[in-house]
A and B are shown apart, each in its own frame.
Chain A
Amino acid sequence: DAKTTQPPSMDCAEGRAANLPCNHSTISGNEYVYWYRQIHSQGPQYIIHGLKNNETNEMASLIITEDRKSSTLILPHATLRDTAVYYCIVRFWNSGNTPLVFGKGTRLSVIA
């Protein structure tokens, strides 16, 4: 799986949008971008994933650049409960049964 680069930490004011960037410049055409988060020693929580098109669900939006070399996870209205470590991971589309490889992620602090 390709490697990703994320900033080690970010702050966001409560109620504002949190935009978490991820670089994956060596991504190949058949690799998805996955986002997970881990809230203080709980199990990692799946957020969203995408291949080429932008994706949105009840938790977040995922914006992938046209060249697919970077993406942004958007939490539209951050709350204190969104404070967590966020992981961006790339994974082959047909690797339905292969493990995820976690990097260091971005520690997001939502501030009141």
Chain B
Amino acid sequence: DSGVTQTPKHLITATGQRVTLRCSPRSGDLSVYWYQQSLDQGLQFLIQYYNGEERAKGNILERFSAQQFPDLHSELNLSSLELGDSALYFCASSEGGPLHFGNGTRLTVT
């Protein structure tokens, strides 16, 4: 158990809809990272927050956004969903050393 909790585990929704994925980092970790893993793609970095502030941005679409709250949990918002957004979404946290990953949210867009 990495200590990183992601909810929900599975999400099925229709094209055009909006969803929110939630991540609770390990206790004391200030950094939260979001990654996307599609069937035919590797792990793609999306965005990172550190203590509530955006720290780094990767291949995140404009339809996607994230935030980190004062209690350090983070949410990833995906809107105007397309079939190609179907993927595993992972959250990771760190205190400055290795990243520790949750077990992901599997999003299926129909």
Residues of A within 8 A of B (CB): 34, 38, 41-46, 49, 96-105
CA–CA, A97 to B49, complex, Å? 9
Question: Can you give 26 A-B contacts (C-beta < 8 A)?
Answer: A38-B43, A41-B88, A42-B103, A42-B104, A43-B2, A43-B4, A43-B90, A43-B92, A43-B101, A43-B102, A44-B99, A49-B98, A96-B94, A98-B48, A98-B55, A98-B56, A99-B33, A99-B58, A100-B33, A100-B92, A100-B99, A101-B45, A102-B43, A103-B42, A104-B42, A105-B42
CA–CA, A34 to B97, complex, Å? 10
User: Can you list the 10 inter-chain pairs with the closest CB atoms, starting with the nearest?
Assistant: A96-B96, A43-B101, A102-B43, A46-B98, A99-B45, A43-B103, A44-B101, A97-B31, A97-B50, A43-B102
B47, closest chain A residue (CB)? A99
Q: Are A97 and B55 within 8 A (Cβ)? A: yes
A101: chain B residues within 8 A (beta carbon):
45
- Beta-carbon contacts of B64-108 to A below 8 Å, as 1s and 0s? 000000000000000000000000101010111111111110100
Q: How many residues of B contact A (CB 8 A)?
A: 29
Determine which of B43, B48, B98, B101 lies in contact with A97 in the assembled complex, contact meaning CB atoms within 8 Å.
B48
A105, closest chain B residue (CB)? B42
CA–CA, A65 to B106, complex, Å? 39
CA–CA, A98 to B49, complex, Å? 10
Q: Are A46 and B100 within 8 A (Cβ)? A: yes
B35: chain A residues within 8 A (beta carbon):
102
**Assuming A96-B96, A99-B58, what are 12 further A-B pairs, CB within 8 angstroms?**
A42-B104, A43-B90, A44-B90, A46-B98, A49-B98, A97-B31, A97-B96, A98-B55, A99-B45, A100-B33, A100-B45, A105-B42
